[in-house]
Amino acid sequence: MGSKLIRLEQYCSGGDVWENFSDLFGKYSDFPEVHDLARDLNYQLDLAYAIYWVAGPNSARKWINSNVPALDNLRPIDCAGNPELIKRLREFLIRMPS
């Protein structure tokens, strides 16, 4: 019997939930280090400032380049160029404990 793999993006909360979540961290959008993260994340500023807050200013760069078990051992930076994986990353960030 084969089991179907359940991916986090299948539970994606949707655009409004992500917008409301990421808007909480928009105050970081002008930080130069956030713009550096955004460049590495396919110029997705909303992901960059959410990650900046969730991972922490001293750890964000390291975190986007680390394999994350909840992302099926993908690096967040690898998710940034794929629409389905962006959903996975967003859902993970929304659910990540603060």
Query: Is residue 45 assigned to a domain?
Result: yes
**DSSP label at residue 66:** S
Instruction: Give the predicted TM-score (pTM) of the model.
Output: 0.83
pLDDT greater at residue 66 or residue 97:
66
**DSSP letter, residue 69:** G
In a domain? residue 6: no
pLDDT at site 25 = 93
* Rounded average pLDDT over 36-56: 95
The pLDDT mean for the chain works out to 87
Residue 59 has pLDDT above 80, yes or no: yes
**1 lies in a domain?**
no
Report if residue 66 sits inside a domain.
yes
3-state helix, strand, coil in the chain (%, to 5): 60, 0, 35
Residue 51 within any structural domain of the chain: yes
